Amino acid sequence: MSLEGKNLSFAYRRQGRVLEKLSLTLEPGERVGLTGASGRGKTTLCRLLAGYERPDRGEVLLDGRPLGRWRGLCPVQMIWQHPETAVDPLLRLRDTLSEAGGVEAGLLEALHIQPGWLDRYPAELSGGELQRFCIARALTPGVRYLLCDEMTAMLDPITQAQIWKLLLEQAEGRRLGLLIVSHDSSLLQRLCTRVQTL
């Protein structure tokens, strides 16, 4: 019962492999940190594990089954580094959230999302405010693994602390597996059960 990446290799072009025979396993309730210099394939690994890209070689298994075979809501959700591209600019945020099948009010409050924001368009909110919506959307019931790609890099330290506290509570309560990508080694030290360097 885990999310496994087995011998993953991936290249965006014919030459210049980004990932070479990389393996990574994420158990429920585990918090794995992922760090490494820019361009080493941290985001690419997240995209592979979340099923946005297919690996050239190797496979991504969820509970022993290939991830590509899951239909409907994918139990592995990724939180993108740039929230402004991850929400439809023509939809009010209420409609964006409804795609995740509705989010409970307590979660919105915990993420400090003001009720008035729900009726705004993405262009009327800041990056940090949008990221909270992306987190709320990714925490929909049925999700078991969250891949957080530089999720709080654009937030101020206090908000960062609030969001990580909430996420750790959620992860604990629902036994979520977290993959946390960051350049901030002290953040990873604080949050993760183990850290892997690419």
- Supply 99's token pair: 């795609």
Of the ranges 57-65, 75-83, 149-157, 185-193, which one interacts with another protein (CB under 8 A)? 75-83
**Residue 52 lies near another protein (rule: CB under 8 A):** yes
**Residue 71 lies near another protein (rule: CB under 8 A):** yes
Q: How many CB atoms lie within 10 A of CB 193?
A: 11
**Residue 72 lies near another protein (rule: CB under 8 A):** yes
Q: What angle do CA 50, 120, 153 make, to 5 degrees?
A: 45
Residue from the set 23, 85, 114, 126 that interacts with another protein by CB under 8 A: 85
Of the ranges 19-27, 70-78, 151-159, 169-177, which one interacts with another protein (CB under 8 A)? 70-78
Residue whose CB is less far from another protein, 25 or 85 = 85
Of the ranges 24-32, 66-74, 149-157, 166-174, which one interacts with another protein (CB under 8 A)? 66-74
- Pick out residues in 89-118 that bind another protein (CB under 8 A): 89-91, 95-96, 99-101
Cα(159)–Cα(163) distance, integer angstroms:
6
In the stretch 140-169, what mask flags binding to another protein with x, by CB under 8 A? x-----------------------------
Q: Can you give the binding site for another protein, defined by CB under 8 A?
A: 50-52, 71-74, 77-78, 80, 82, 85-91, 95-96, 99-101, 121, 123, 137, 140
